[in-house]
Structure 1
């Protein structure tokens, strides 16, 4: 087989493996699959905003002139931290898709020692429930505080705060992050559907 033929086969095999792993499990309600696929999308705007504004330094962030690295260690540039945080956020969000896909019920072949075995129900339900609770409380608190003109610590926002929605940069931050309010409830709904399906042996 020529090199070009091999190159043509590999993408096809990858697509087939991807489609097989993410095929909806029998018994998954349509609404649950839609909710699971929506989770990575509600996380995406904030990830893109962080990368664009902090990692790429596009003029969409209102800088205050202070030290923006916060408590990061000196060896970790804030640009790298933001990219890694955004990737991690998307990966965590994507785990919701596993709750409606085959890899959420049977360990994939690439998982050492566990490949082919059934995923214990509680191994998915407990982290899903904890994550949904934490995310719901966190982002609800953040936006309640913002509604009262305060940051997450409860301190009043100043006129030059990057979170001040009176400027277009501040409004863009809010618009980018407000979808995160739906992350917890969506994950809770998908986790509930997963538990119900597995409990009934579907």
Structure 2
């Protein structure tokens, strides 16, 4: 469950920007993101896609990750193949680990025009992403061991 929840704080931070809640960034940062404007759409899409991928981690510990749900035509009731799920989850583990580390590295080495509390809020919102990869890796290994 932890792997699925690590994205929530950063998604809420992005959505706060979209609806106009101040998060301590300078106007130049908002301009660079294209907010308000098309950048707002990008922030919403990024939040939704990251939450969708995070939600898929539940499939590694829930029954619908072992047997296809009834609402999926042609596959309903059949076992979910272990190898493709494990490979995709493993690739997701690598991708999310690299993303988390790269984001933290970039944040600490970037010159951002943000207030002290804005930088603090950004770090608090994105820090859980460092756990996404390792937690996803743990449930992936557990899924593979349980299903083989």
TM-score by length of 1: 0.66
**In the alignment, does 2:22 pair up with 1:63?**
no
What secondary structure sits across from 2:33 in the alignment?
A: coil
Pick one of 121, 124, 127 that aligns with 1:172. Answer: 121
Task: Tell me the CA shift for residue 167 of structure 1.
Answer: 1.0
Pick one of 96, 100, 113 that aligns with 1:135. Answer: 96
**In the alignment, does 2:54 pair up with 1:93?**
yes
Structure 2: distance between partners of 1:67 and 1:175: 21
Q: How does 1:185-196 map to 2 (within 5 A)?
A: 185-196=134-145
Task: Tell me the CA shift for residue 63 of structure 1.
Answer: 2.7
Structure 2: distance between partners of 1:64 and 1:83: 19
Structure 1: distance between partners of 2:68 and 2:80: 6
Task: Tell me the CA shift for residue 150 of structure 1.
Answer: 1.3
Q: Deviations over 1:104-128 (max 9, x none)?
A: 0101011121111110001210110
> After the TM superposition, which segments of 4 or more aligned residues of structure 1 sit over 4 Å from their partners?
none
Aligned length: 145
Pick one of 59, 82, 107 that aligns with 1:121. Answer: 82
Structure 2: distance between partners of 1:62 and 1:145: 16
Pick one of 39, 42, 54 that aligns with 1:81. Answer: 42
* Structure showing greater Rg: 1
Structure 2: distance between partners of 1:125 and 1:176: 29
Task: Tell me the CA shift for residue 49 of structure 1.
Answer: 0.5
Q: Flag the structure with higher helix content.
A: 2
Structure 1: distance between partners of 2:26 and 2:39: 14
**In the alignment, does 2:15 pair up with 1:51?**
yes
Task: Tell me the CA shift for residue 177 of structure 1.
Answer: 0.3
Structure 2: distance between partners of 1:40 and 1:105: 18
1:144 maps to which residue?
A: 105
Superposition RMSD on alpha carbons, in Å?
1.9
Pick one of 66, 69, 73 that aligns with 1:112. Answer: 73
In the superposition, relative to structure 1, how do residues 144 and 57 fare at CA in structure 2: closer, same or farther (>3 Å)? same
Task: Tell me the CA shift for residue 40 of structure 1.
Answer: 2.2
Task: Mark the runs of 5 or more structure 2 residues left unpaired by the alignment.
Answer: none
